[in-house]
């Protein structure tokens, strides 16, 4: 492992007064595109019966959502919270199917309500912040008034641009239902993989061993030397079958994970990497076995992706558990540009963690660094507890 210190992940600093005023200036400029988007949507809704209105709606929705997402970013920075886009994922299908999904999304209509606020009272608040800075006589009022004015606007923006508690709960239930279904599909696929591995590998070798022993039994009377050679070959085939079986078992639950826990298993994984990997932080206990396994394989996938694609010189893993949340950050100083939606491996990690109500966030600008944050809610068991039993004991 390298002595190089990993790049620390830290919360961004709250915006200063000049940055807040920059946000306000941009919000002032949004007046024209927001009015255009609102007019296109309303006119399109009135003309939708003659189909030409569909074109107006299709043009208005992306424009409105771009500006609304930008405001979510501003409101999140001002309030110090994360406000991700809450829109429903677009379904597969033609333009009419996607348009129907957009119109059925409650967030589409909340955006329209937000526009009415943003082009009236919200716009006046942002303009006031800018004017207070530009006017020499009002510099004192700008210094003390800009933060509370922008905080007030951001609170209203947050209220209108995010779901309420009931809607959030409904979306959460829907997301959990999808994740459970995906977990069931993933488990079924894993069972089929294990069946193929056992059938095509271990079973084939054991059948060959059985046939060899049958031949040896027939050779014992007439050719003991040939029987001895056949038994020796059967013994070698048995060793190979045991090796195959061990490989299958390690794919289910690595022995190092059962013996040393998540912390020790990740450190052992880091030692096996070709590029130095620094592991910092520790865990005061052990997560539940299924979560432990899911996070371990997620970290292994992230490090493997970094080794294959990033061209990095150093990687790091940060472990922490606070307030009932297991947080693992995997980073590298490579070229960046990683896309979680582009490869099946990262999507598999998302599905694996989603089964435990976990999340994965990827930050990978061009030029790097790439930072993958894995978070899973769980309670740690005491570190002094006895080693737990693996789901399947290793043969031999």
Mean of the per-residue pLDDT values for the chain? 77
Pick the CATH number of 255-382 from 3.40.50.10140, 3.30.410.10, 3.30.565.10, 3.40.50.360: 3.30.565.10
> pTM here?
0.46
Percent of the chain with pLDDT over 70: 76
- The pLDDT of 351-368, averaged and rounded, is 80
Residue with tokens 């591995």: 197
Contact (CB, 8 A) for 219 and 234: no
Question: Cα–Cα distance between 281 and 79 in angstroms, integer?
Answer: 28
Least confident of 291-295, 354-358, 391-395: 391-395
- The pLDDT of 139-155, averaged and rounded, is 85
The 10s digit of each residue's pLDDT in 46-89 is 887 777 778 888 888 889 999 999 999 888 888 888 787 888 77
Q: Please list, in sequence order, all residues whose beta carbon lies within 8 angstroms of the beta carbon of residue 371, skipping any fewer than 6 positions away.
A: 7, 9, 329, 330, 331, 362, 363, 364
- The pLDDT of 337-350, averaged and rounded, is 69
Q: Is the pLDDT of residue 395 over 60?
A: no
């Amino acid at each position: 492992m390298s002595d190089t210190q990993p790049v620390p992940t830290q919360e961004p600093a709250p915006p200063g007064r000049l940055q807040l005023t920059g946000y306000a200036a941009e919000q002032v400029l949004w007046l024209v595109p927001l009015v255009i988007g609102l007019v296109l949507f309303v006119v399109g809704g009135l003309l939708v019966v003659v189909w030409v209105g569909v074109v107006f709606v299709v043009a208005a929705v992306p424009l409105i959502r771009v500006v609304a997402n930008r405001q979510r970013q501003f409101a999140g920075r001002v309030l110090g919270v994360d406000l991700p886009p809450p829109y429903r994922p677009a379904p597969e299908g033609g333009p009419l199917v996607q348009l129907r999904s957009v119109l059925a999304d409650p967030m589409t209509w909340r955006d329209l309500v937000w526009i009415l606020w943003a082009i009236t009272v919200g716009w006046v608040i942002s303009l006031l912040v800018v004017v207070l800075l530009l006017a020499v006589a009002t510099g004192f009022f700008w210094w003390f008034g800009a933060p509370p004015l922008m905080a007030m606007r951001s609170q209203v923006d947050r209220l209108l641009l995010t779901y309420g508690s009931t809607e959030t709960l409904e979306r959460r239930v829907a997301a959990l239902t999808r994740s459970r279904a995906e977990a069931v599909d993933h488990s079924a696929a894993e069972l089929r993989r294990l069946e193929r591995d056992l059938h095509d590998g271990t079973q084939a070798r054991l059948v060959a061993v059985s046939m060899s022993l049958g031949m040896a039994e027939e050779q014992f009377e007439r050719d003991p030397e040939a029987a001895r050679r056949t038994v020796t070959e059967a013994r070698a085939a048995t060793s190979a079958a045991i090796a195959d079986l061990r490989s299958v078992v390690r794919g289910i639950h690595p022995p190092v994970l059962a013996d040393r826990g998540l912390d020790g298993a990740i450190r052992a994984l880091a030692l096996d990497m070709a590029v130095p990997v620094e592991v910092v932080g520790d865990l005061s206990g052990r997560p539940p076995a299924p979560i432990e396994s899911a996070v371990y394989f997620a970290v292994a996938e992230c490090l493997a992706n970094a080794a294959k694609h990033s061209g990095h010189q150093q990687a790091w893993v940060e472990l922490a558990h606070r307030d009932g949340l297991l947080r693992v950050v995997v980073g590298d100083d490579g070229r960046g540009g990683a896309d979680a939606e582009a490869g099946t491996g990262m999507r598999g990690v998302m599905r694996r963690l989603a089964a435990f109500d976990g999340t994965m966030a990827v930050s990978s600008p061009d030029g790097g660094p790439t930072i993958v944050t894995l978070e899973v809610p769980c309670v740690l068991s005491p570190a002094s507890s006895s080693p737990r039993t693996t789901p399947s004991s290793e043969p031999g």
